[in-house]
């Protein structure tokens, strides 16, 4: 390193402090031995991921296309890659959440029924909350490990552990209360199904309301709830 005496002193001081941070004795490293760049790299890797790492976490917006009676997520593979999760795991989750059947087709996912981009994006966000983000530091650098029969989300950034189903259980009890048979709710009819019934959504529920048109705001009395599907009657 061809540096002036003063900057050389600073480099040595930095190197020593990095060594200290990394748990090495300062005596181990002499001026000739250390490679400043490599040391800096290693020190950076040892440091907790910074906000920068969080900002880099971008889940691609699902590229959703309706094909006949099916929906295709064209960039499904990219989404799974960004989340660092098995495509089949994400696939299983989405099919369960959407209450439909589907399959992978190369890097695409195809499933039965017509679902809009917003609904798909919402389910992916739930997946990210449940299976990807650390609940302590909110970073996405996590992995899922199996401990006995329980799935544990382990954060590579802060080391926090949590079972992956905790959030879901909390959420589904909240949602179970969102729609109850016999109660009346204000709903927006977002879509119209094959048989002409209006379709509203609330949380994970899909509510069929006969005699309503897309884009109308209606009061609906819930007649029947079956899993995440409900049937309602228009009151207004």
Residues contributing to the site for Zn ion (CB under 5 A) = 134, 136-137, 155, 157-158, 160
* Smallest distance from Zn ion to CB 136, Å: 4
Kindly state the tokens that stand for 205.
Answer: 């529920």
Q: At 87, list the tokens.
A: 């495509």
Nearest to 163 by CA among 176, 138, 146: 146
Is residue 159 within 8 Å of 145, Cβ to Cβ? no
CB of 121 to Zn ion, least distance (A): 24
Q: How far is the CB of 97 from Zn ion (least distance, A)?
A: 25
CB-nearer residue toward Zn ion: 119 or 157: 157
Which of 10/145 has CB closer to Zn ion? 145
Q: How far is the CB of 129 from Zn ion (least distance, A)?
A: 14
- Separation of alpha carbons 25 and 140, rounded Å: 33
Looking at the Cβ atoms of 134 and 206, the one nearer to Zn ion is 134
**Torsion-angle region of 11 (φ positive above 0: left; ψ -120 to 50: alpha; else: beta):** alpha
Q: Which is nearer to Zn ion, 121 or 137 (CB)?
A: 137
CA dist., res. 77 & res. 214, Å (int): 32
3-class secondary-structure state, position 53: helix
Residue the block writes with tokens 């490990």 = 145
Smallest separation, CB 158 to Zn ion (Å): 3
Q: Are strands 205-209 and 229-234 parallel, antiparallel or unpaired?
A: parallel
CB nearer to Zn ion: give 49 or 202.
49
Least distance to Zn ion, CB of residue 161, Å: 9
Between 38 and 51, CB nearer to Zn ion: 51
120: burial class by Cβ within 10 Å (0-12, 13-18, 19+)?
buried
């Amino acid at each position: 390193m061809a540096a002036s005496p003063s900057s050389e002193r600073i480099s040595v001081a930095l190197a020593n402090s990095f060594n200290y941070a990394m748990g090495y004795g300062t005596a181990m490293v002499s001026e000739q031995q250390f490679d400043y760049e490599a040391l800096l790299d290693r020190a950076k890797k040892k440091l907790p991921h910074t906000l920068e790492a969080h900002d880099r976490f971008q889940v691609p917006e699902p590229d959703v296309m309706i094909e006949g009676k099916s929906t295709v997520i064209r960039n499904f593979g990219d989404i799974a890659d960004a989340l660092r999760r098995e495509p089949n795991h994400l696939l299983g989750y989405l099919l369960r959440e959407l209450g439909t059947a589907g399959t992978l087709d190369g890097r695409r996912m195809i499933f039965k029924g017509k679902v809009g981009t917003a609904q798909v994006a919402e389910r992916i966000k739930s997946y990210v909350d449940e299976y990807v983000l650390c609940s302590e530091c909110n970073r996405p650098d996590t992995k899922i490990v199996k401990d006995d029969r329980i799935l544990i989300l382990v954060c590579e950034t802060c080391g926090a552990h949590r079972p992956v189903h905790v959030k879901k259980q909390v959420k589904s009890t909240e949602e179970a209360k969102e729609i109850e048979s016999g109660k009346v709710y204000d709903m927006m009819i977002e879509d119209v199904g094959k048989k002409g019934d209006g379709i509203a959504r609330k949380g994970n529920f899909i509510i069929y309301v006969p005699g309503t048109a897309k884009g109308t705001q209606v009061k609906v009395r819930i007649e029947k709830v079956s899993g995440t599907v409900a049937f309602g009657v228009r009151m207004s």
